[in-house]
Amino acid sequence: MSEPHISVRNLTMAYGSRVIQSNLEFDINRGDIFVIMGGSGCGKSTLLKHMLGLLSPAAGDILYDGQSFFAASEEQQDAMRRRWGITYQSGGLFSAMTLAENVGLPLQLYTPYSAADRADIIAYKLALVGLAGYQNYYPSEISGGMRKRAALARAIALDPEILFFDEPSAGLDPISSSLLDELIVQLQSSTGATVVMVTHELPSIFAIATNSVYLDATSKTMIAYGDPKILRDHSDQPVVRQFLAREASSSATAEEPS
């Protein structure tokens, strides 16, 4: 079996002396659509920030293709980051820039492409997310679902090997949300990228996740790891089964199950 794309090794995360999660240990394989799950405040975003190298572990490490991120030099870390595409909950588009300028920004910053080549790549990436011809629109002129897709076009501008999402469908209606899910699956299969996402949305979790981890706020560690459909039916942890079997309609507002 090939080396895991991402390995979380004995990771403990803390803010000062307050431990959020400890002893996290799991792998994410190349091409997985991996979901970080758990109740409100359990540490999902904190884990994502560690994976992005924005926070340093209290203990443990995260390996990319077998290489430690936190033991790597700044130069090596930059090279690793260059292979990632990130979309944040808010979308994170620059409101004063057109979609073409937003998607073109990473190309301008990190590639030697000419303006004409960049324009071709921008058109291609916008078409991939269903926004062909929207180059000259500003974020405020398009819908929330379109803004999320534009942010995704920007995230894939540099052909990332890993795509990170923080609550990709937050604030979207169910139809836009399921369109975004379909798009994530399509992009994953056409690019072979590994996808890592934090989400509460059960429909998304069951529609697209190939693997997952469940972080428990009470015991402050992971209590489940695997395909969410299998965990829903067979986890030995009642709290995990309950989390995954709750009514889909309540998923947007669900708090941690007691």
Pairwise CA distance, residues 137 & 199, whole Å: 28
Pairwise CA distance, residues 13 & 26, whole Å: 15
Residue placing its CB nearer to ligand ATP in the complex, 47 or 131: 47
User: Residue written as tokens 């991402």?
Assistant: 6
Residue placing its CB nearer to ligand ATP in the complex, 190 or 253: 253
Q: Are 186 and 162 in contact (CB under 8 A)?
A: no
Residue placing its CB nearer to ligand ATP in the complex, 42 or 195: 42
Closest approach of ligand ATP to the CB of residue 89, in Å: 9
Write the interaction track for ligand ATP spanning residues 23-42; mark x where CB under 6 A is met and - where it is not: ---------------x-xxx
Q: How far is CA 66 from the centre of its chain?
A: 20
Residue 180 carries which side chain, given as an amino acid letter?
Answer: L
Closest approach of ligand ATP to the CB of residue 219, in Å: 14
Closest approach of ligand ATP to the CB of residue 41, in Å: 4
Residue placing its CB nearer to ligand ATP in the complex, 46 or 212: 46
Closest approach of ligand ATP to the CB of residue 50, in Å: 10
Identify the CA nearest to 48 among candidates 212, 196, 213. 196
Does the footprint of ligand ATP cover residue 44 (CB under 6 A)? yes
Does the footprint of ligand ATP cover residue 15 (CB under 6 A)? yes
Closest approach of ligand ATP to the CB of residue 40, in Å: 4
Pairwise CA distance, residues 143 & 25, whole Å: 39
User: Residue written as tokens 């997985």?
Assistant: 32
Q: Are 11 and 204 in contact (CB under 8 A)?
A: no
Binding residues for ligand ATP (CB under 6 A): 15, 20, 38, 40-46
